[in-house]
Amino acid sequence: MKRSITRLLMAPSVIMLLVWMIIPLSMTIYFSTIRYNLLYPGQNNFVGLMNFEFFITDPGFVPAVSNTLILLLSVLIITVVLGVMLSALIDKPFFGQGIVRVLLISPFFIMPTVNALIWKNMMMNPVYGIFAWISESLGFEPIDWLSSYPLVSVIIMVSWQWLPFAILVFVTALQSQDTEQKEAAQMDGATGWHIFRYLTIPHLARPIAVVVMIETIFLLAVFAEIFVSTGGGPGYDSTNLAYLIYNQALLQYDVGVASAGGLFAVLLANIVAIFLIRAVGKNLTV
Amino acid sequence: MTLNQQRKLKTILTGLFAWSVALVLFFPIFWMFITSFKTELQAISVPPSLFFEPTLDNFRIVQERSDYIHHAWNSVVTSFGSTIIALIIAIPAAYSMAFFPGKRTKDILLWMLSTKMLPAVGVLVPIYILCRNYGLLDSKTALVIIFTLMNLPIIVWMLFSYFKDLPKEILEAARMDGATPWDEVVKVVLPLSVGAISSTALLSIVLCWNEAFWSLNLTASDAAPLTAMIASYSSPEGLFWAKLSAASTLACAPIVIFGWFCQKQLVQGLTFGAVK
């Protein structure tokens, strides 16, 4: 087939994604250099980098950036480490495997808004929640999770959503592991730990890379969980970049500053993406 | 203990462990489901009540108060609509990249994936303003367009990794028999990849159904899908967990049950075939 036809077939996807990327992004760049507050229409003069200055000196800026990164790294570590350990432990035939699989993956299908509501109310409520009931039965003071440990609460919610995904990917990957190799190692006197360290972990390198990549895409953009549960608070304790920018744009109507923030978020995502695509790109066969 | 007994014990322990992990992770969903059949008083009772007389009142009230059917319909239209459109655009692209790869194919694929990494919040303002200027705020059209573009990179990737594994000989044989490129796609490639295309579609539907950023920011009531309807229950008007649970159960049930049936394909799909 001619090159021109293959190009033609690719064209719709490529052009649409280009448009989707370029138009909003150039508008964001433009808005970020003008004074643009929806409350004061008609005063859209050029202000240079002032919006960036405003955004970076905003009291929420430093917490938002660090919360975004803490959230990303904690959830990645929790899901990958726990995911690898749990999947290695349950990677043997046992009674009711099919049902366990179905139960395990379920949290992944729960929508983020529902996720946040279940945890906020029925699990973490300091008076009526399950956690409060458990700690009271054990004789401890119940903890008000959302106001005392807001970021930890969000991390728990998001990890709950993504741990099942990691487990399932790793379990699926482990099923293709060479059992003969494992048995041979056992014959040679390798301990369970050695097998895990030198056979299982290397076998999981690729799945881990893929899980890290997919999760990063979604974790940098966590929004609904915060929107519904903590509202970014108390103070800026659980505000991430996405939430801070949403706050600037749709609650304070300052489009200029919000656009500057948006560009900052794009920059941050790009830095993360460069590392990731380098690391993961090799692992994806093209 | 003999080796056989040891092995048996190991199986039992593995099973117990796996079941406890699964039950702990599933517990919040189970609890939501149970609570939806309680009265408001039972829902907040301490200690939590496990045995009670189930009532269906909550479901009725949710439908009356927030018109579940209306929002569910919005969810169905936006997720299925955008999935179908995205597939129509993505299939030719994935086909040409998989069967006629050029020097740049890998770069194009990685670039597509990188557009997925652009944080939505970076373009929230312009999209919001564009929608406002074209009268698309709170419209299903806007959501369908955005969902299509949002999932397009992942859909192209997934289809690409499936198509790539199809044996090239079959296509060559078809060509020898005088098949046109159109015939090739319609009569050879598509029938061979029904499974691949449907699992891609499933994943896209799940992602759209649960999408919350755009639906919370761009819709109010007319076009609000279930994610946005549920968020309206977060207002602290008091404790009405039973109704909240009923609404949540209704919002999640279709997609969770849907997911149960195709979890294996979904994992394979979401990892671009890197895990089989």
Do the domain assignments include residue A140? Answer: yes
pLDDT at A260 over 90: no
Nearest-angstrom CA–CA distance, B270 and B267: 5
Interchain contact A127–B (C-beta under 8 A) = yes
User: What's the CATH number where A196 sits?
Assistant: 1.10.3720.10
Averaged over A145-173, what is the pLDDT? 89
Do the domain assignments include residue A38? Answer: no
Do the domain assignments include residue A226? Answer: yes
In tens, the pLDDT along A8-25 reads 888 888 898 888 888 888
Count of domains forming chain A: 1
pTM of the model: 0.86
Nearest-angstrom CA–CA distance, B32 and A113: 13
Locate the domains of chain B by residue range: 3-57, 67-270
Predicted local distance difference test score (pLDDT) of residue A2: 64
Do the domain assignments include residue A281? Answer: no
Confidence of residue A286 (pLDDT cuts 50, 70, 90): very low
Averaged over B108-120, what is the pLDDT? 79
Contacts of A132 in chain B (CB under 8 A): 46
pLDDT at B144 over 60: yes
pLDDT at A79 over 90: yes
Averaged over A108-112, what is the pLDDT? 90
Domain interval for residue A136:
61-238
Residues above pLDDT 90, as percent of chain B: 16
Residues above pLDDT 70, as percent of chain B: 94
Q: Residue A6: which residues within 8 A CB-CB, separation 6 or more?
A: B96, B97, B100, B102
Q: Residue B123: which residues within 8 A CB-CB, separation 6 or more?
A: A24, A25, A27, A28, A262
CB pairs under 8 A between A and B: 305
Arithmetic mean of pLDDT over chain A: 83
Enclosing H/E stretch for A33: none
Contacts of B216 in chain A (CB under 8 A): 113, 223-224, 227
Interchain contact A134–B (C-beta under 8 A) = no
CA B171 to chain centre: 32
Q: Which CATH code fits B67-270? A: 1.10.3720.10
Confidence of residue B230 (pLDDT cuts 50, 70, 90): confident
Contact B55, B37 (CB under 8 A): yes
Averaged over B1-10, what is the pLDDT? 78
Which of residues 216 through 275 in chain B touch A, CB cutoff 8 A? Answer: 216-217, 226-228, 230-231, 233-234, 239, 241, 244-245, 248, 251-252, 255-256, 258-260, 263-264, 267-268, 270-272, 274-275
In tens, the pLDDT along B25-51 reads 999 999 889 888 887 777 777 777 777
Residue type (1 letter), A209? A
Q: Which one, of B181, B110, B116, lies nearest residue B149 by Cα?
A: B116
In tens, the pLDDT along B55-103 reads 888 888 888 888 888 999 999 999 999 999 999 999 989 888 888 888 8
| Contact at CB, B96 and A10, closer than 8 angstroms | yes
Predicted local distance difference test score (pLDDT) of residue A256: 84
pLDDT at A280 over 70: no
Contact A45, A34 (CB under 8 A): yes
Do the domain assignments include residue A11? Answer: no
Contacts of A217 in chain B (CB under 8 A): 116-117
